[in-house]
Each structure stands twice: as structure tokens, then as C-alpha cells.
Amino acid sequence: MLELLILYILNKYDCTIYKIQKLIEEMFFIFSCPSLGAINPALKRLESLGCVEFESTVSDGGKLSKTYKLTPFGLKYLKETVSNFDFKNQAHMINNAKVCISISDILDEKDREKFVLSATSKLKILKKDIENKLNNPYIIYTNIQKEVFLSAIKDIDNLIMVVE
């Protein structure tokens, strides 16, 4: 998910690694607050894929600085990854869906429709799975666990409303 956030930021701005970190913290604080130690390897992976490139400059004080920018392939990769995002991991599905929904403004109308259909379908499946587990007489949940699951169902319903 961090790589998608980086690509989304670089779609809007050419940035140093420090600026990327600050923008992610400002724009996506509820989803991610990555360290430079997490952003740097993600940038290297994206660079090796051809999604980002950088320009090195030396400041007046002699410090080397890299300014990253999104490549045309990076934009295509970002759009395809968001529109075809596979919400496989149920443990992270709600948060990942929130991230993808919040950056889905980069999609054109056709890809957005595809994304909405896919996301709502997968969220409805997750909701049904949660409901089935809550209604399973062989699994005993505490009241707090039930409330958390019911809260997740409300989150899913809200996400579906946001996307549609």
C-alpha cells in the first residue's frame, strides 16, 4: 500500500524522500505514517520497475538531494493497480479499500466504474463473511468482539456508500 501512496503523491508533485514522507503523513495520516526507512526501499522497488526516476542535485552546503518524479509507466502502473486492486487479505481489506478509494480520483470514468464494481463486490463478500461468523453458533465471541465486528460491518456499509 505504501508504494501506491508514493506513486499517488508523485503523480501530484515532484518530491524528495522527506517531502514524500511529510505529504503521506499529512494526506494519509489515518492510513499510514511511514518512516524514511520504509519509504526508501519502496522508492528503490518503484525505481527498479521503471515507475519513478530521480534527479540528483547538490545544495550550496554540498548535500546531495534526490528529487523523485513519476514516469509515464508509473502513472499507468498506479492506475492499473488501483483499478484492479485485489483485496485478498481480509485482515487488511477495510483499510486497503479505504486507501484505494481515497486515491481513486486518478482513474478515468471507465476504470473508476470497474473499480467501484470490484470494490463493492469484495466488500459485500467480506461483510457477509463477518455476518456468517457472528451467527456461527460454534464460535463464542465476547460482547466487545461482537461490537468490533459490528463496527466493521458499519465501516463496510459506509465505504460502499462512498464508492457508489
Residuewise pLDDT in 10s, the chain (164 residues):
889 999 999 999 999 999 999 999 999 988 888 898 999 999 999 999 999 999 998 877 788 889 999 999 999 999 998 888 776 777 788 888 888 888 999 999 988 888 888 889 889 999 999 999 999 999 999 999 999 999 999 999 999 998 87
Please enumerate in sequence order all residues whose Cβ is within 8 A of that of 68, keeping only pairs 6 or more positions apart, or say none. Answer: 10, 14, 15, 16, 17, 20, 43, 52, 53, 54
Q: SS3 of 68, please?
A: strand
pTM of structure: 0.84
Smallest CA-to-CA distance from 113 within 78, 160, 164 is with 164
Q: Which CATH class is domain 2-126?
A: mainly alpha
